[in-house]
Structure 1
């Protein structure tokens, strides 16, 4: 996919160029006294900036936190502080927003780093532009992005730290990408598999709530919640691609795709990748404080359940036959020397 303009904007700012042209998400809005200009706090996935903006009257009432503005500008000094002077030309439609427009300040480091890599993975691995834009548009929604980047993938079992959900989603997608393309058949199948891998646990943003979020019925599975959250995205895909694309994505996100006999390679890939990522994280937690010679650990995973993790312990850093061969050679040389002396 073509690189997003926000990347070019941040590159321009880092290189201290005199002119920037691109898009920013608004983080804070404040009118300047006795002025037609507006104080803004703006940002992208790569940084945040103080800005003073010249806004057309037709757009002034539409400026709000979360809006992505299209603008040109340059660095200036306002009130003895450096800021960007921006001339806002338009507002970006929500469906055209991407993860690149989402600032990560204040988010857990694990989640922030994971979403940066997810954005790069979407741009480099997904061939179909409609599919890529659909997942960008879904995850860049402010409420979804913040929760996806900051919540855990589980309470105890795996990736239980803040930001663990994004990290687990990244790992599953990376594993799905590692399978050779030819196994998926048509490239579109791989594209859909990658999207499903990234958002397969999205419903968990409603299960693990923070103090300021409403209580929800926990007997509703995260798979069902995921389908509810991605409904608008699937409808958008039906309009912009063949309906089979939307249908396959919905199938991969449903419990039906977890059947023992997979309906397609993509379903098998996601199921196994999910299991591999979760097991790796759980094993890492289990062995974290165990001595290096431990071959297995039984870990308490909550609710009276335990899980046993095993690993091999390497005894010889070099193959035994190397030492044996060397010893035999030394013995042979010693015998030869003794024979010569006799």
Structure 2
């Protein structure tokens, strides 16, 4: 296979999250999608890319050579994996139709003090199915935030309010941000499916899709893993009192507040989504 280089092509480095697709039929390398702040890039590569243990995109630093090719933007020459590459260097403004949502969400994730929990939230939004769909999906079909980008905006609103609550410990605040950003995670699959999936099942779907990431979190930080799974509707964490469900009630209150604020006439936005009896209210 002949690779055409543009005149005066120079090697460039990018912070990226890589999705490795099928190998080429000729056996000469494989096709990669590279997600970064500058947007989506398409690359050809012969180097092995270590898979992510969670099945999400692999974060790291890529060395790229621009190509003069209709199929590929770049040749991937080197890749250094970094599981904790900040999402502030990866989320792109092109992903979400609502300005500023991607940057504020990334900044909030990076405020999570627990490294394993911060990694989980970042990886959850760098899943092959959610890396673009999370940012373009509505939060509902005909109720609150029922427009493209509504899911990301609603999740950010809830997380921002929860993170600003008074008297939270660092542990509580970490869980509040993570739970708030992921509480409607399953809706990505509900609204992206052309056949339609009952949105009332979004909690179960979200917990199922987060399963591999939660398993890693349980191994790295058992207490936080049990608490987050509890909050997301999974197996109850061991405790002597109501904690950590108390922080869950705080997040749910802000969830309801975000819904009510969005339903005020001056804040509602036009939507192409039709009424649906299966649509949940929050």
TM-score, shorter chain, exceeding 0.5: yes
Give the paired residue count.
255
Task: State whether residues 114 and 174 of structure 2, in contact with CA within 8 Å, keep that contact through their aligned partners in structure 1.
Answer: yes
2:18 maps to what in 1? 25
Query: Structure 2: any 5+ residue segments left out of the alignment?
Result: 1-9, 237-241
Q: Which residue of 1 aligns with 2:219?
A: 239
TM-score, with length taken from structure 1: 0.59
Kept in 1: contact 2:186–2:203 (CA 8 A): yes
Asked if 2 retains the 8 angstrom alpha-carbon contact of 1:196 and 1:249, the reply is yes
| Cα distance, 1:96 vs structure 2 | 5.6
Q: Is the 8 A contact 2:60 2:85 kept in 1?
A: no
> Which has a greater percent of helix?
1
1:87 aligns with 2:77: yes
Matched, 1:267 2:248: yes
Aligned-pair CA distance for 1:227: 2.1
Report the alpha carbon displacement of residue 172 of structure 1 after superposing the two structures with TM: 0.2
Q: 1:51 to 1:280 in 2, by over 3 A?
A: same
The answer on 1:145 being equivalent to 2:125 is no
Determine helix, strand or coil for the equivalent of 1:116: helix
Shift of the 155–68 alpha-carbon distance from structure 1 to 2, 3 Å rule, reads same
The answer as to 2:238 corresponding to 1:250 is no
Give SS of 1:142's match: coil
CA offset at residue 194 of structure 1?
A: 0.8
Gap regions ≥5 residues in structure 1: 1-16, 290-300, 308-342
Instruction: Let me know the Cα RMSD of the aligned residues.
Output: 4.3
Partners of 2:156 and 2:36 lie apart in 1 by 20
Q: 2:143 aligns with which of 129, 145, 157?
A: 157
**Superposed displacement of residue 132, structure 1:** 0.3
Q: For the Cα contact (< 8 Å) 2:97–2:149, is it kept in 1?
A: yes
Partner of 1:194: 177
Higher Cα Rg, which structure: 1
The CA distance in 1 between the partners of 2:224 and 2:154, in whole Å, is 24
Which protein, 1 or 2, shows the higher relative CO under an 8 Å CA cutoff with sep ≥ 6? Answer: 2
Partner residue of 1:226 out of 206, 211, 223: 206
